[in-house]
Structure formats: structure tokens, C-alpha cells
Amino acid sequence: MGINFKQETFRDDFSFRNSPEQVRRFPFPFHEDGYMYSVNIEPHVPGAKNTVFEHLFDVDEHYVSEMHDRALVLAEDPLRCQSLPHMTLAGWDTLELLMTEKAKSYPEHFSLTRDGDKWHWVNRPLGIDDRFTFGDTSTLPYDPLEYITRQSQGDFAVLDQRDGNLWMDAGIVTTQADWSLDFDIGMNFFEWHAPVPLAHEMGVFKRALKFLMALQQGQPARRHNWTMTINPRLDTSPENYHKWGTDRTTVTPENVGDKVHLRVEIQMFFRLPRSNALLFPIRCYLIKMDELVTSPKWARRFHRVLRDLPPELAEYKGLVRYRPTVVEWLSKYDDGAPTSPGFGPD
């Protein structure tokens, strides 16, 4: 049985909603009643059925609408997708990985037929049916990275490994939490993480870089990250700050449940076979407070996490203006009872 794709918007009237099934599979990022920045990397292996980790790349009910929003962003700002000249091979690696995994995991929606370098790709939800020659960019309507990531949820950074560092030399970024590919393109690992507070002093990024540079093909890894967003807006980019920055001033005790969203990223890491580049998919999930509190455990825990968040992290994540209002709203769902270990709802 296939996925029931929704028609919804992430701008203007903000009609995005999670179905009850989607709420249950939301990747809640807190395993305990507190939070501090950490590496939190674990193997990225297929997980339990009906979770976002069931397959290596999750496709959900929001897929078609998210791809429509990505097309709108790219039409407005083509520089959201960039690839330096030496990264073309990594683009083909990325295309192969995404096509093969989607066709294997969701055969009712995607199919890939290969005859040597002659490939036939069918994406039924988006109405795409293309034949092309693998390795020949002239046979695709876009370069390989842009072609396949226009059909894949989440952002994708492609990192070149050289000179003892990782360099962000290609990517497509349209669902980001306030960072810019156009600004970061060509930067190394420490440069693009420079704004993050506390973590540098804790040695988090030195440990993370050492781990990532040693990552082997066939042994992908993942981690969580999170922030908050007012309205279910995917494109919270610096380039469009004038469109969404003032949203933070609109939170009131009456509209917290509908307007305030927990924004969770599943960040994955794959070693690519031909180029030896590192693929860094960043998959964004949104859940409004009214949906989150349908899980009593999540409601209690998120209240405690947000209430006790270190001020530096609240400032970095842009939560300072409205955090007290949200903490007060969540407090009515926290009866002081202990929460069970782990991420899942009770």
C-alpha cells in the first residue's frame, strides 16, 4: 500500500499539518529531560517499521508538497543549489545512492532500471519518467546533484575531504535553519560551524571531524539536531530573513499551540564510492505544539528541556523572544511525573 501524499503549503496560508500517524512517527530528539550540545552520532541503519528510520531515506506524506516548495525556492534563488567543478562525480554518486535506495524502499512509487550506463528512472509521485546515460550530464535536465535532490526531501551538503579537513563544495539547501549555502560554499568544517556556542570549547567539533573523516563506505551514521520555527515554514534562510524574522514577534499565549513548531533535523553521513566525498543529508521534520502535546511524555519532557536550556543555546537558536511564552504554555501539560527513558512516546 502506497503513501497518501498531502497537498499543503509551507508559506502564505501555511496549510501544513501532520496526520495522527505522522505525529506518532515524529523523530522527537530528546532522550532525557535536559539538553546540551553533543556529537550524539550513531550508526544509520534501517530501524523499526512505521518510524522515520525504517529506511535509509524516509519518504512521507509531505513529500510532494515539500518538493513543490523546493521548486519555488530554486525558481526565486537558483544559488540555493551549487556545485564546484570538481564535485560532479560526487553528484553522480549521490544520484546513484538516492535512486537505488528509493527504488528499493518504495517500489510502488519509484523504479530504477539499469542496463550498463543506460538508466531509466521513474518517480510516480512527481510524474517523472526519464532515460539517461549515467556519467553524461548532457542527458539530464540538470546536473546530477540538482536533478535527484529536486526529488528528495531534506537538504544535502556534499563535502570534499582533503588537507585534513572537510570542505562544503556542493549542495542544495532550501529547508535550512538560518544558514546559507551561498555563504558557506567552499568553507571547511570549522569555518561553517564557527557560530555555534559552547561546542567548540567542549571539543565537540574536533571529535566530530575525526569521526567523519574516518567514516567508511557502507557504514553511514546519523545524529539529531533541533530548533524551533514560528509557522511551518521550511525556508528559514538568511536570504529570506525579511520574510520570516518578524514571525518571532507574533507569538502569544493564545496561538502557541498552532504557530510554534519544534523543528528537528536528522543529519546523516554517507561515504560516497567513486569520489570519496561525504554526503551530508539534513532532513527537516516539523511538529506544532498542539500536535506534540498529544504525547504526554513529549509534552512533559519538552517543557523541561526548553525551561532549562542554557541561555547561550537559546540565543543561538533564536528562541529568546518567545521562549518564556512557550514554556508557560507547556507548563500546563507537565504534572511533574517522571518521564520514561528514550525518545519514543509512552
Per-residue 3-state assignment (H helix, E strand, C coil) for 222-285: EEEEEEEEECCCCCECHHHHHHHHHHHHHCCCCCHHHHEEEEEEEEEEEECCCCCCEEEEEEEE
d(CA 319, CA 230): 10
320-325 mean pLDDT: 97
* Cα–Cα nearest to 33, from 339, 331, 287, 273: 339
Q: What are the sequence ranges of the domains in the chain?
A: 27-331
Residue in the block written with cell 510532494: 64
Q: What angle do CA 45, 177, 55 make, to 5 degrees?
A: 20
Question: Percent helix, strand and coil across the chain, each rounded to 5?
Answer: 35, 20, 45
Secondary structure (DSSP) of 3-62? -------SSTT------HHHHHT-----SSS--------EE----STTSTTSSSS---TT
Contacts of 242 (CB under 8 A, 6+ apart): none
d(CA 16, CA 344): 23
Q: How confident is the model at residue 151 (pLDDT cuts 50, 70, 90)?
A: very high
**pLDDT value of residue 197:** 66
Per-residue 3-state assignment (H helix, E strand, C coil) for 194-223: CCCCCCCCCCHHHHHHHHHHCCCCCCCEEE
Catalytic residue among 207, 223, 248, 307: 223
Q: What is the pLDDT of residues 14-52, one digit of tens each?
A: 999 999 999 999 999 999 999 987 768 899 999 999 999
The DSSP bridge pattern shows strands 81-83 and 165-172 to be antiparallel
Q: What is the pLDDT of residues 117-150, one digit of tens each?
A: 999 999 999 999 999 999 999 999 999 999 999 9
Share of the chain above pLDDT 90, in %: 87
Q: Name 82's bridge partners.
A: 171
Task: Determine whether 223 is an active site residue.
Answer: yes
